A and B are shown apart, each in its own frame.
Chain A
Amino acid sequence: MEALTNRSKAVDRRPMSVWEKAYLPEIAKGMGVTLKHFFKKKPTISFPEETRPFSPVFRGLQVLNRDEKGRERCTACGLCAVACPAEAITMEAAERKQEEQHLYREEKYAARYEINMLRCIFCGLCEEACPKDAIYLSETFTPANYKRESFIYSKQDLLIPDPVTEPELYKKALGDRAKKS
């Protein structure tokens, strides 16, 4: 049979020579190998301090976006919830009142918007489905918590900081991922 790669080696079944039976030279050889590895550069990335560079299509936690005046973009149309294959998104719509015009961009908004991060598979279909660029996937990816309930992210957890009142935080949260509006 032809070998698939040229890396395969035939098993050597010859009896050991005296040199090999002496055992110590072979141990010395092995110790040479380990010593070489001792001084090798380690491939470890010390995670919280260093991070791996992300690919441009990386999909992390969702963020609910605001427009440049700090109004929520989401209109609670429910397309993201429909698109979601894991059924992780729930929302409740409400009508905008006259005095709330500075809070919500459209006449309808999401009074309650929840994503269950334990169900979410980070496929990004919600981002694709959204007609208002209201939801996008960020580069944050390590939610950790003690309780299952705390993985159900409410609107407060998902909303991006207000660009008018907190421009620094907004910029930081926006990252490179959101569509520039």
Chain B
Amino acid sequence: MMISIKASPKRGKALCVCCKLLIVDLDFKYMQFCLLAITKAFLIEKAVLITIVIAVSLVIAMYSTWAERKVAGFIQDRLGPNRAGWGGLLQPLADGMKLFMKEEIIPNASNKFLFILGPGVAMLTAMMTSAVIPWGNKIEVFGRSIDLQIADINIGILYIFGVVSMGVYGIMIGGWASNNKFSLLAALRGASQMISYELAMGMSIIALLMVTGSLSLKTIVEQQSAGWWNFFYQPLGFLIFMVCAFAECNRTPFDLPEAESELNFGYHQEYSSMKLGFYLFAEYINMFISSTLMATLYFGGYDIPFVNDANLLSSLGPNLTATLQALALFAKIFFFIFFFMWVRWTVPRFRYDQLMNLGWRGMIPLALANMVITAAFMLWRHG
């Protein structure tokens, strides 16, 4: 918006007029979404929030790699990395350093532009989803009440779906640009897998939306803080959502696009250095975001279990409450991340036909049934 004002003075003028009118109006509802709210403080507030969220998701993705290796080790009766730093805590830094130091190779036969674009897209889509997730209730800093959510848009879930679907481009572009048959096969697998499971995922969400009646994640969380968690209304929906989330993240048992033992390394076979690092990183960020989504949609988001948040707010003040809420959310997220890893080191990979069977003949009918039953129930209750 700032750019458009600079580029065309005419439109800028119109915008200013619009702003002034709105100031006169002081319509609170518009303030949240319209230009009026874009003041300096608002920009700083959002910039800081975005920086924090991105930094946090990067750090969590970094330490997910460490946690994954630790969990794998423990499940296999090993200790996992324990040489770099206490308990191997500096291992991700060492790995990152190594990836940065590695020689960057772009194959001669590849499409150079797309080859570089691929990991960028993967990373971008992974990071963008975090924009609509509420991390806690409002906090008060310098006399301003700040929402711990980058954008409370009323189509939050749709936005997430849109961005997540774009994630397949990262894989497709990367696999295709490598000009390698294994990469291409892996990319095709990845694309078809993600598309098939997105259907079931979408339908499980539709059932959830019938229960909540809102697409805004903030509203969904607030409803859950007031009443029961959505998991108790939609256990089957959650199960379908979770399985599909595994497939969307390309995690075992659905890690066919990577399939180290069949396709060498999958779609990022030709990648080296930090471009490879971006793909791996994007995967872990996706895992983090899926965990967040599961926690937010089905397990109350930042709602602290067994505690009345409104009472807490009056006794502890907004800042402390928001901190506790964020901690509760992160506890839930870490549990789900652990669950992802736990499943990965337990279940072997599906065969491709099994994967498609499960997706089309298992998940989609189940999701449909869940949707119809929920719809009938909601109709019966309201009508």
Contact = CB atoms under 8 A, between A and B. Distances in A.
Interface of A: 24, 27, 30-31, 33-35, 37-38, 40, 42-44, 46
Contacts of A40: 77
B226 interface: no
A24 B343 CA distance: 12
Contacts of A27: 343, 346-347
Contacts of A37: 74-77
Interface residues of B, number: 14
A44 B71 CA distance: 15
A38 B347 contact: no
Contact of A34 (B78, B82, B239, B342): B342
Given A27-B346, A30-B347, A31-B342, A38 B78 contact: no
Contacts of B347: 27, 30
Nearest to A28: B346
Contacts of B106: none
**Majority SS at the chain A contact face:** helix
Contacts, number: 33
Interface string B71-98: 1001111110010000000000000000
Q: 10 tightest CB-CB pairs across the interface, nearest first?
A: A34-B346, A34-B75, A44-B79, A38-B74, A30-B346, A31-B346, A38-B75, A37-B75, A42-B79, A42-B77
**Majority SS at the chain B contact face:** loop
Nearest to A38: B74
A34 B76 CA distance: 8
A43 B342 contact: no
A34 B345 contact: yes
Contacts of A30: 346-347
B66 to A, nearest CB: 16
A24 B346 CA distance: 13
A50 to B, nearest CB: 12
B240 to A, nearest CB: 11
Given A38-B75, A38-B342, A46-B79, 9 more contacts: A27-B347, A30-B346, A30-B347, A34-B75, A37-B74, A37-B77, A38-B71, A42-B79, A44-B78
A36 to B, nearest CB: 10
